[in-house]
Structure 1
C-alpha cells in the first residue's frame, strides 16, 4: 500500500502546538476523522483507543518520533494523520527524548496482519534521520505532506 493511500494532505499538519501527550492524541484523533462524517462518537472512540494503546506501552520509537495506533469499526480502510509539533513533548519514549513527529495509524477493527505490516514499514521509514530532519524543517502543511509522500516507494504495507 502506498503512503499516499494512508495519508492525505487534509490529515497532515505542520507546527501544531500541544502541551501534552493527551492533547497530541486528541488532535490526532480529530485529524484521523476530519474528513469522515462519522461524528464525535467515532473521534472519541479513536482517542480512547489511542490512549488505551499508550497505557500498554509508549509508541514513542525514539529520536523524537511516535507512531500511536489503534483500530476502529468506523472505517473500512487504513488511514493515517501526521503532525509535526512546534515544541517537542514528553511521550514516555524508550530513549526518554521528547517527541515532535507523530504519525497516527488507524486501521479497521479486523485488520491484524495489515496493521502490523503497515506499522513495521512506518517504523522503518521514520528511522531515516535525513527524512526526519526534513520533516522537522518544514514550513507548511503542504511541505510536510510533500516531504513524507516524496519518500513513498509504493511499499508502505510491506
Structure 2
C-alpha cells in the first residue's frame, strides 16, 4: 500500500470557504463522492459516527478523519488544505488546516490500520507540513504527499 494508491490527484483540494468542522466533513464527503463514487450521505454518517467515539484531530493543525463504509472495495483518501484553520476538537486544542480523510471497506481490518499509519507518518514531519502549507496548487500538494512517502523510504 502506498499513498499513491490511496489518493487520486483529483482528491486533493484547497478549500477557502470552510468555517466549521461540520462543513469540512460535508466537503470531504462530497469530494469522496465525486472521486470514488461514495454516497456522500453514507460517508458523512460514517465519519460522524467515528468522530463521536473521539475526535481525529491529531495535533499540529492536522486531522485524520476516517470511517469504514459498507460496499467500498478499496481504501481511498481525500486530502484538503484549508485557507483558514477550523476548530476540530484536536488533542492539542488547536484548529486544523491539513486534513487527510480515509474511507475504508467495512471489513478492511488491518488494511484500514495500515493506511492510517501510512498517512500519519506522511503528515507527521514539520518539513512536510510546512511544504503543504506553503502551496495551494492541488497537483503540487499531491506531489508533496507522494514525495513524503518516498523520502521516508530512503
Structure 1-normalised TM-score? 0.90
Secondary structure in structure 1 of the residue aligned to 2:9: strand
Q: 1:140 to 1:64 in 2, by over 3 A?
A: same
**Alpha-carbon distance, 1:16 to partner:** 3.6
Aligned residues of 1:2 and 1:154 also touching (Cα < 8 A): no
Equivalent residue in structure 2 for 1:47, among 40, 44, 48: 44
Q: 1:59 to 1:33 in 2, by over 3 A?
A: same
The aligned length equals 153
Regions of 4+ moved over 6 Å: none
**Alpha-carbon distance, 1:74 to partner:** 3.2
1:104: which partner in 2?
101
Give the distance between the partners of 2:36 and 2:84, measured in 1 at CA.
29
Are residue 76 (structure 1) and residue 94 (structure 2) matched?
Answer: no
Structure 2-normalised TM-score? 0.93
Aligned residues of 1:16 and 1:86 also touching (Cα < 8 A): yes
Secondary structure in structure 1 of the residue aligned to 2:11: strand
Deviations 1:64-117 (A, max 9, x none): 000000011232111000000000000000101100000000011100111112
Aligned residues of 1:90 and 1:98 also touching (Cα < 8 A): yes
2:6: which partner in 1?
6
Give the distance between the partners of 1:27 and 1:72, measured in 2 at CA.
17
Correspondences of 1:74-153 after superposition (within 5 Å): 74-153=71-150
Give the distance between the partners of 1:148 and 1:54, measured in 2 at CA.
24
Give the distance between the partners of 2:73 and 2:97, measured in 1 at CA.
29
Answer 1 or 2: which has greater helix percent: 2
Q: 1:78 to 1:155 in 2, by over 3 A?
A: farther
Aligned residues of 1:59 and 1:68 also touching (Cα < 8 A): yes
1:17: which partner in 2?
17
Secondary structure in structure 2 of the residue aligned to 1:10: helix
CA RMSD of aligned residues (A): 1.8
